[in-house]
Amino acid sequence: MDFPEELKYSKEHVWVRIERDTAVIGITDFAQEELGIVSGIELPDEGDELEQDDSVGSVEGRKTVADIYAPFSGTVKSVNHEVIDNPALVNDDPYDGGWLVEISLDDPDELKGLMSADDYVDYVENRD
C-alpha cells in the first residue's frame, strides 16, 4: 500500500493535501482496498458548508458502503465530477485522479488532529 509522505491522514481513512487555505481530500489506499472495487460515490455540492466530522458523502464498494467524514470544517469549493462518473478512479489512483472534494479551511487548528504517513501506517497496522 502507498501512503505519500506529504499528505496528512485521519482515523476515518481520509487523506488531506493542504494547498494554501484549502485542502483536497480523498480516501486512502488502505480504504479503497478494504472496500474492493468502488462502484459508486456520493459527494456534496459545491458551496455546501461542512463541520468537522460531518459526512461528506459515501463510497460504495463491493463489500460495503462507507461514509466519508470531513477531517475539518469548511466550504466545499470543488467536487471531482470525474470520480462520480468513473468511481474506479478511486481504486486506480486514490491520491491523484481519485481525489473527492476540495474544501476551504475554516480553522487550520483542526488539522492538528491529523496523522503523518508514518503515524497512519502504525494506526492501520495496529487496528483491531
Count of domains in the chain? 1
Cell of 95: 491520491
pLDDT by residue, tens only, the chain of 128 residues: 789 999 999 999 999 999 888 999 999 999 999 999 999 999 999 999 999 999 999 999 987 899 999 999 999 999 999 999 999 999 999 999 999 999 999 998 999 999 999 999 999 998 75
Task: Tell me if 93 is assigned to some domain.
Answer: yes
The confidence score (pLDDT) of residue 2 equals: 83
The confidence score (pLDDT) of residue 128 equals: 58
CATH of the domain at 79: 2.40.50.100
The confidence score (pLDDT) of residue 88 equals: 93
Task: Tell me if 127 is assigned to some domain.
Answer: no
